[in-house]
Amino acid sequence: MSQRTIVITGGAGVLGQAVARRACANEDRVVLLDRAEISESADLAGDVRIGGVDLTDTDSAGEAFASIAKNCGGLDALLNIAGGFAWETLEDGSVDSWERMFAINLRTAVTASKAALPWLKASTSGRIVNVGAAGAVKSDMGMGAYAASKAGVARLTESLSRELLGRVTVNAVLPSIIDTPANRADMPDADPSDWVAPDDLAAAILFLASEDARAITGALLPVTGRV
């Protein structure tokens, strides 16, 4: 196959970079999209870097994907990794937190997917891979807003896979806690060996984005540990 173009939202983050490193090793053309500005001198894996993109805004997303398609000659896979987490009980928290979780976890995936569709449908191996959460299947205290937004990602995955059946595959990974510096800082007494390594999750994401996964669509793949 000719070189594939893979767009990674949240590409400058820990998981985004784990995916980018693996994709670059596969000799894919890797485009990093991020809300933060990305310096050209930053030590990041990826061939193209586009910072300052607000994926909650349809115009910002549309301009970014049109530019990518023009400069790269199209695109083959969209990996919706942009997102965030907040632990907050309903009693002591803010209702605004629910809106924020839906914006950064679900709306970003919806907006990016819609903006990328014309080029993904034109690809011979169009792929969308979303990042949901195992906690959206069975939530816990303080995770209501986060889990609800990730449950939305799961339903988006299922519905869009049917909408694009035979043209673009749409799947999602459902990780448990990911071993990141932020999670280690927030949970200093936990054992990170029970968590999911970013590189292991990246391998699962890139499998679903690969030609080998052409017969898989609408899947919600649990990725919950290394043991």
Q: Which residues are catalytic?
A: 146
* Side chain identity at residue 2, one-letter code: S
201 sits in which H/E element: helix 198-208
- How far is residue 137's CA from residue 203's CA, in Å, rounded to a whole number? 22
Sign of CA dihedral 71, 83, 227, 136: negative
Return the closest-CA partner of residue 115 out of 60, 36, 71: 60
Q: Which of 62, 40, 138 is nearest to 51 (CA)?
A: 40
